[in-house]
Amino acid sequence: MKVDLKNYGLNEQIKIESSIYSGLFIARVTEQHRDLYKIVGENGEMNASVSGKLAYQAARQADFPSVGDWVMVDRSGSDFGNAIIHHILNRKSLLTRQAAGTANDQQVIAANVDILFICMSLNADFNLRRVERYLTIAWDSMTTPVIVLTKSDLCEALQCKLDEISSVSPGVDVVVCSSKDEYGFESINTYVKEGRTIAFVGSSGVGKSTIINRLLGQDVLKTRNIREHDDRGRHTTTHRQLILLPNGGIVIDTPGMRELQICSGNLSRTFEDVAEIASGCKYNDCSHTTEPGCMVRMAIQDGTLSEARLESYRKLQREMSYDVLS
C-alpha cells in the first residue's frame, strides 16, 4: 500500500534533510511501546527498533526516537520484517517532561508538534496559573500554543473569564467551545490543516477526547464520564498515538501527553509583562520586595500588575530552580 507521507506532515525541508542519508528510507514514528516502535513509511506501516549504534550513542532519553519523529530506516515497508531506525531527523519542536524519580533526565513526550491546544474548561478547571504553566511548556518546546476554553455551556461570566485569560496570554489565540451546542468547533477546525501536527494538553476531564473525536468524526477515543468536579481520574484507554484526521491534519495523543507537567522554563515569554516592568528596576538583581527604585512594586501599587501574577511568576521561578513538580 502506497502512503503519501505529505499527509503525515512530510515537507520539503524534511525531504532535503533526509536526502543526505542515501540507501535509507524516511518514515514517521506513530507509536512507541518501550523499545518497539510503530512507524509509517512510503510503503506502509512497520514495526521498528533502533540500531545498536543509535542506542549505543544515545546519552539521554531524548536521543531515542519518540512519537512524531521523522526517522531514517533501512526499509520502506514491512515485507521483510521489522525496520531498523538509524537516524532521527532534526526536530522542529520537542515536548518533554521531567522523568519520574530522576534529577534531570527529560522524558520526551512528542516531537514535531506544530500546534499545542491548551485545553481548560470554563467551569471547575478554570485556573490562570495552569494556563501560564502550559504556555511556558509551549514556548519551551517551540510549539505554537492555542488556548481552548471548553464547556462554555457551563460558564456564566464568560467575558470576565476571557479578560482574565487574555491578561496572562498576550498574543495567544483563544478559542471558546462547547460540545453541547457545537459552539466554537468551526474555530478549532481552522487550525487543522493538511500536514500539520497538533497535540492537546490539559487536565483530565476538560474535554480533550471529545474534541479529538469531533475532529475524527467518530468515537475513536473513549470519553470518560466523570463527575464535573472530579478531575483526578486517569486516562486508561489505549489507542493510536499519532492519528490522521479525515480532512487532513495529524493529532498526537500519547499517554505522556496527558500527564504533561512543567519541567523547564522559558519564563520570560509567558511573563513578558512582568519581565518588561522588572527591566526598569534600579537594581539588576532586584527581588521586588523592599528595594528602592523597584518598578514592579510601583506597578502593583498603581494597579498595572496584579499581586497574584507576580506571585505566580515567583512560584514558577522557585519550582523551576528546584525542579519541583506539582
Q: Which of Zn ion, ligand GDP, none does residue 288 bind (CB under 5 to 8 Å by kind)?
A: Zn ion
User: Which of 181-209 are b and which e, b meaning 16 or more Cβ less than 10 Å from the residue's Cβ?
Assistant: eeebeeebeebbbeebbbbbbbbbbbbbb
254, burial (CB in 10 Å: exposed 0-12, middle 13-18, buried 19+): buried
Q: Which of 92, 97, 151, 288 binds Zn ion (CB under 5 A)?
A: 288
Query: Closest distance between ligand GDP and the C-beta of residue 224, in Å?
Result: 5
Q: Grid coordinates standing for 181?
A: 451546542
Query: Closest distance between ligand GDP and the C-beta of residue 85, in Å?
Result: 30
Query: Closest distance between ligand GDP and the C-beta of residue 264, in Å?
Result: 24
Residues that bind ligand GDP (CB under 6 A): 150-151, 153-154, 178-180, 204-210, 223-226
Cβ contacts of residue 127 below 8 Å, gap of 6+? 120
Between residues 260 and 295, which has the closer beta carbon with respect to ligand GDP?
A: 260
- Site size toward Zn ion (CB under 5 A) is 5
Binding of residue 294 to Zn ion (CB under 5 A): yes
Binding of residue 310 to Zn ion (CB under 5 A): no
Between residues 118 and 286, which has the closer beta carbon with respect to Zn ion?
A: 286
Binding of residue 133 to Zn ion (CB under 5 A): no
Binding of residue 48 to Zn ion (CB under 5 A): no
Query: Closest distance between Zn ion and the C-beta of residue 129, in Å?
Result: 21
Between residues 225 and 326, which has the closer beta carbon with respect to ligand GDP?
A: 225
Q: Which of Zn ion, ligand GDP, none does residue 65 bind (CB under 5 to 8 Å by kind)?
A: none
Q: Rounded distance, CA 66 to CA 99, Å?
A: 14
Q: Are 38 and 29 in contact (CB under 8 A)?
A: yes
Q: What is the CA radius of gyration of the chain?
A: 22
Q: Which of ligand GDP, Zn ion, none does residue 75 bind (CB under 5 to 8 Å by kind)?
A: none
Q: Rounded distance, CA 267 to CA 287, Å?
A: 16
Which of 203, 213, 257, 209 is CA-nearest to residue 233?
A: 203
Q: Rounded distance, CA 322 to CA 326, Å?
A: 12
User: Which of 68-88 are b and which e, b meaning 16 or more Cβ less than 10 Å from the residue's Cβ?
Assistant: bbbbbbebbbbeeebbbbbbb
Q: Grid coordinates standing for 12?
A: 520539503
Query: Closest distance between Zn ion and the C-beta of residue 302, in Å?
Result: 14
Between residues 50 and 211, which has the closer beta carbon with respect to ligand GDP?
A: 211
Between residues 53 and 180, which has the closer beta carbon with respect to ligand GDP?
A: 180
Partner residues linked to 111 by β-bridges: 94
Binding of residue 277 to Zn ion (CB under 5 A): no
Between residues 73 and 286, which has the closer beta carbon with respect to Zn ion?
A: 286
Which of 127, 155, 160, 157 is CA-nearest to residue 147?
A: 127
Q: Which of Zn ion, ligand GDP, none does residue 178 bind (CB under 5 to 8 Å by kind)?
A: ligand GDP
What DSSP state is assigned to residue 67? T
Query: Closest distance between ligand GDP and the C-beta of residue 207, in Å?
Result: 3
Query: Closest distance between Zn ion and the C-beta of residue 312, in Å?
Result: 17
Q: Which of Zn ion, ligand GDP, none does residue 225 bind (CB under 5 to 8 Å by kind)?
A: ligand GDP
- By CB under 5 A, name the binding residues for Zn ion: 281, 286, 288, 294, 296
